[in-house]
Protein backbone atom coordinates (compact mmCIF):
# COMPACT_ATOMS: atom_id res chain seq x y z
CA UNK A 1 0.00 0.00 0.00
CA UNK A 2 2.77 2.37 0.96
CA UNK A 3 4.63 1.49 -2.24
CA UNK A 4 1.63 2.25 -4.40
CA UNK A 5 1.11 5.56 -2.60
CA UNK A 6 4.72 6.57 -3.22
CA UNK A 7 4.45 5.57 -6.88
CA UNK A 8 1.31 7.69 -7.36
CA UNK A 9 2.97 10.63 -5.60
CA UNK A 10 6.04 10.32 -7.82
CA UNK A 11 3.89 10.15 -10.95
CA UNK A 12 1.90 13.20 -9.87
CA UNK A 13 5.06 15.14 -9.08
CA UNK A 14 6.57 14.19 -12.45
CA UNK A 15 3.37 15.27 -14.24
CA UNK A 16 3.34 18.65 -12.48
CA UNK A 17 7.02 19.13 -13.31
CA UNK A 18 6.48 18.35 -17.02
CA UNK A 19 3.47 20.67 -17.17
CA UNK A 20 5.43 23.53 -15.60
CA UNK A 21 8.34 22.84 -17.95
CA UNK A 22 6.04 23.05 -20.97
CA UNK A 23 4.61 26.34 -19.70
CA UNK A 24 8.09 27.81 -19.18
CA UNK A 25 9.24 26.70 -22.64
CA UNK A 26 6.10 28.11 -24.25
CA UNK A 27 6.60 31.47 -22.55
CA UNK A 28 10.24 31.48 -23.67
CA UNK A 29 9.20 30.77 -27.26
CA UNK A 30 6.62 33.56 -27.21
CA UNK A 31 9.16 35.98 -25.76
CA UNK A 32 11.70 35.04 -28.42
CA UNK A 33 9.15 35.49 -31.22
CA UNK A 34 8.11 38.91 -29.94
CA UNK A 35 11.67 40.14 -29.47
CA UNK A 36 12.79 43.06 -31.69
CA UNK A 37 14.34 41.98 -35.02
CA UNK A 38 16.96 44.70 -35.01
CA UNK A 39 15.44 46.67 -37.92
CA UNK A 40 16.82 50.17 -38.30
CA UNK A 41 15.27 52.88 -40.46
CA UNK A 42 17.78 54.89 -42.48
CA UNK A 43 17.65 57.87 -44.80
CA UNK A 44 16.70 56.73 -48.32
CA UNK A 45 19.59 58.79 -49.70
CA UNK A 46 22.13 56.96 -47.53
CA UNK A 47 24.58 54.83 -49.49
CA UNK A 48 24.04 51.14 -48.69
CA UNK A 49 25.90 48.32 -50.38
CA UNK A 50 25.39 44.98 -48.63
CA UNK A 51 25.85 42.48 -51.45
CA UNK A 52 27.88 44.33 -54.06
CA UNK A 53 25.09 43.98 -56.60
CA UNK A 54 23.33 46.82 -58.44
CA UNK A 55 21.07 48.65 -55.99
CA UNK A 56 18.99 51.79 -55.47
CA UNK A 57 22.08 53.88 -54.71
CA UNK A 58 23.65 52.94 -58.04
CA UNK A 59 20.43 53.79 -59.92
CA UNK A 60 20.10 57.16 -58.21
CA UNK A 61 23.74 58.23 -58.58
CA UNK A 62 23.95 57.16 -62.24
CA UNK A 63 20.70 58.95 -63.08
CA UNK A 64 21.88 62.12 -61.33
CA UNK A 65 25.21 62.20 -63.17
CA UNK A 66 23.76 61.18 -66.55
CA UNK A 67 21.06 63.85 -66.57
CA UNK A 68 23.47 66.53 -65.31
CA UNK A 69 25.65 65.75 -68.32
CA UNK A 70 22.61 65.62 -70.62
CA UNK A 71 21.24 69.05 -69.71
CA UNK A 72 24.66 70.69 -69.86
CA UNK A 73 25.54 69.34 -73.32
CA UNK A 74 25.52 71.54 -76.44
CA UNK A 75 22.60 69.79 -78.15
CA UNK A 76 20.11 71.18 -75.63
CA UNK A 77 20.95 74.85 -76.08
CA UNK A 78 21.08 74.39 -79.85
CA UNK A 79 17.59 72.88 -79.89
CA UNK A 80 16.10 75.51 -77.60
CA UNK A 81 17.69 78.30 -79.62
CA UNK A 82 16.46 76.91 -82.96
CA UNK A 83 12.93 75.99 -81.78
CA UNK A 84 12.28 78.45 -78.95
CA UNK A 85 10.99 75.67 -76.68
CA UNK A 86 12.17 72.81 -74.50
CA UNK A 87 12.76 69.50 -76.27
CA UNK A 88 10.13 66.82 -75.71
CA UNK A 89 11.68 63.52 -74.61
CA UNK A 90 10.40 60.01 -74.05
CA UNK A 91 12.30 57.05 -72.58
CA UNK A 92 12.33 53.93 -74.73
CA UNK A 93 13.86 50.58 -73.84
CA UNK A 94 16.70 50.58 -71.32
CA UNK A 95 17.82 46.95 -71.53
CA UNK A 96 19.33 44.91 -68.74
CA UNK A 97 22.31 43.16 -70.35
CA UNK A 98 24.01 42.36 -67.03
CA UNK A 99 24.42 39.00 -65.32
CA UNK A 100 21.93 39.79 -62.56
CA UNK A 101 18.34 40.87 -62.12
CA UNK A 102 18.01 44.65 -62.36
CA UNK A 103 14.68 46.41 -62.20
CA UNK A 104 15.28 48.93 -65.00
CA UNK A 105 11.93 50.61 -64.25
CA UNK A 106 13.44 52.01 -61.04
CA UNK A 107 16.39 53.39 -63.00
CA UNK A 108 14.27 54.92 -65.79
CA UNK A 109 11.99 56.59 -63.24
CA UNK A 110 15.07 58.18 -61.70
CA UNK A 111 16.06 59.41 -65.17
CA UNK A 112 12.57 60.77 -65.77
CA UNK A 113 12.52 62.57 -62.44
CA UNK A 114 15.89 64.24 -63.02
CA UNK A 115 14.90 65.40 -66.53
CA UNK A 116 11.62 66.89 -65.34
CA UNK A 117 13.23 68.53 -62.30
CA UNK A 118 15.87 70.18 -64.52
CA UNK A 119 13.13 72.45 -65.90
CA UNK A 120 14.81 72.36 -69.33
CA UNK A 121 13.24 69.22 -70.79
CA UNK A 122 9.57 68.38 -71.37
CA UNK A 123 8.83 64.72 -70.72
CA UNK A 124 5.92 62.76 -72.17
CA UNK A 125 4.26 59.60 -70.89
CA UNK A 126 5.48 56.12 -71.76
CA UNK A 127 3.52 53.87 -74.19
CA UNK A 128 1.87 51.99 -71.31
CA UNK A 129 0.96 55.22 -69.53
CA UNK A 130 -0.39 56.68 -72.79
CA UNK A 131 -2.68 53.69 -73.27
CA UNK A 132 -4.24 54.29 -69.86
CA UNK A 133 -4.66 58.01 -70.52
CA UNK A 134 -6.14 57.41 -73.98
CA UNK A 135 -8.72 55.06 -72.47
CA UNK A 136 -9.64 57.75 -69.96
CA UNK A 137 -9.85 60.39 -72.69
CA UNK A 138 -12.06 58.16 -74.82
CA UNK A 139 -14.37 57.54 -71.84
CA UNK A 140 -14.66 61.29 -71.37
CA UNK A 141 -16.05 61.64 -74.88
CA UNK A 142 -19.01 59.46 -73.87
CA UNK A 143 -19.57 60.30 -70.22
CA UNK A 144 -18.09 63.73 -69.39
CA UNK A 145 -19.67 67.10 -70.02
CA UNK A 146 -18.83 68.87 -73.27
CA UNK A 147 -16.89 71.60 -71.46
CA UNK A 148 -14.78 69.22 -69.34
CA UNK A 149 -14.06 66.42 -71.86
CA UNK A 150 -10.48 66.55 -73.12
CA UNK A 151 -9.90 66.70 -76.85
CA UNK A 152 -8.68 63.74 -78.88
CA UNK A 153 -5.58 63.86 -81.07
CA UNK A 154 -4.06 66.67 -79.03
CA UNK A 155 -1.00 64.86 -77.66
CA UNK A 156 2.55 66.20 -77.88
CA UNK A 157 4.83 64.11 -80.04
CA UNK A 158 8.33 63.42 -78.70
CA UNK A 159 11.29 65.10 -80.38
CA UNK A 160 13.78 62.64 -78.91
CA UNK A 161 13.82 59.12 -77.49
CA UNK A 162 16.30 57.91 -74.89
CA UNK A 163 17.41 54.27 -75.11
CA UNK A 164 20.27 52.35 -73.53
CA UNK A 165 21.51 49.34 -71.61
CA UNK A 166 23.14 48.26 -68.36
CA UNK A 167 25.89 45.64 -68.63
CA UNK A 168 28.25 44.04 -66.12
CA UNK A 169 31.51 42.12 -65.91
CA UNK A 170 32.65 40.08 -62.90
CA UNK A 171 36.30 39.27 -62.27
CA UNK A 172 36.96 36.79 -59.44
CA UNK A 173 40.26 35.89 -57.82
CA UNK A 174 41.12 34.63 -54.34
CA UNK A 175 38.66 35.88 -51.76
CA UNK A 176 37.57 38.95 -53.72
CA UNK A 177 35.54 39.79 -56.79
CA UNK A 178 35.50 42.97 -58.87
CA UNK A 179 32.08 43.90 -60.25
CA UNK A 180 32.18 46.35 -63.15
CA UNK A 181 28.97 48.01 -64.37
CA UNK A 182 28.63 50.08 -67.53
CA UNK A 183 25.54 52.17 -68.24
CA UNK A 184 25.11 53.51 -71.78
CA UNK A 185 22.36 55.96 -72.77
CA UNK A 186 21.69 57.52 -76.15
CA UNK A 187 19.35 60.35 -77.14
CA UNK A 188 18.02 59.95 -80.68
CA UNK A 189 16.06 62.38 -82.84
CA UNK A 190 12.69 60.72 -83.54
CA UNK A 191 12.25 62.37 -86.94
CA UNK A 192 15.63 61.73 -88.55
CA UNK A 193 17.30 59.09 -86.30
CA UNK A 194 20.36 61.24 -85.57
CA UNK A 195 22.06 60.73 -82.21
CA UNK A 196 22.48 64.04 -80.41
CA UNK A 197 23.93 62.79 -77.11
CA UNK A 198 25.62 59.65 -75.78
CA UNK A 199 26.16 59.18 -72.06
CA UNK A 200 28.31 56.61 -70.32
CA UNK A 201 28.76 55.89 -66.64
CA UNK A 202 30.96 53.20 -65.07
CA UNK A 203 30.80 51.75 -61.57
CA UNK A 204 33.38 49.37 -60.09
CA UNK A 205 33.04 47.54 -56.78
CA UNK A 206 35.34 45.23 -54.84
CA UNK A 207 33.34 42.61 -52.96
CA UNK A 208 34.12 39.67 -50.71
CA UNK A 209 33.34 36.58 -52.78
CA UNK A 210 31.41 35.09 -49.85
CA UNK A 211 28.89 37.97 -50.18
CA UNK A 212 28.68 37.91 -53.95
CA UNK A 213 25.97 35.56 -55.20
CA UNK A 214 25.31 35.89 -58.92
Q: Is the pLDDT of residue 214 over 60?
A: no
Return the higher-pLDDT residue of 1 and 101.
101
The three-point CA angle 84-71-74 to 5° equals 70
CATH fold for the domain made of 56-208: Rossmann fold (3.40.50)
What integer pLDDT is reported at residue 56 of this predicted model? Answer: 82
Stated length of the chain:
214
Report percent pLDDT > 90 for the chain.
51
Those residues with Cβ within 8 angstroms of residue 33's Cβ, 6 or more apart along the chain or in another chain: none
Cα–Cα dist 17/26, whole Å:
14
Cα–Cα dist 193/86, whole Å:
19
Task: Evaluate whether 183 touches 213 at the Cβ level (below 8 Å).
Answer: no
Task: For the chain, give the mean pLDDT.
Answer: 83
Q: Is the pLDDT of residue 26 over 70?
A: no
Q: What is the mean pLDDT of residues 89-113?
A: 90
Kind and range of the H or E element at 127?
helix 127-143
Amino acid sequence: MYYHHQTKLFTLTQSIFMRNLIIVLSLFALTACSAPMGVQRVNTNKTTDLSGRWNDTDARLVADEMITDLVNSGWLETFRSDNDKNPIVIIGNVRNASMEHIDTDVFTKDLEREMINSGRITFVASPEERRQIRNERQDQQDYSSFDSAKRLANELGADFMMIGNISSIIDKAGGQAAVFYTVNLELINVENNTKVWIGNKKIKKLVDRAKLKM
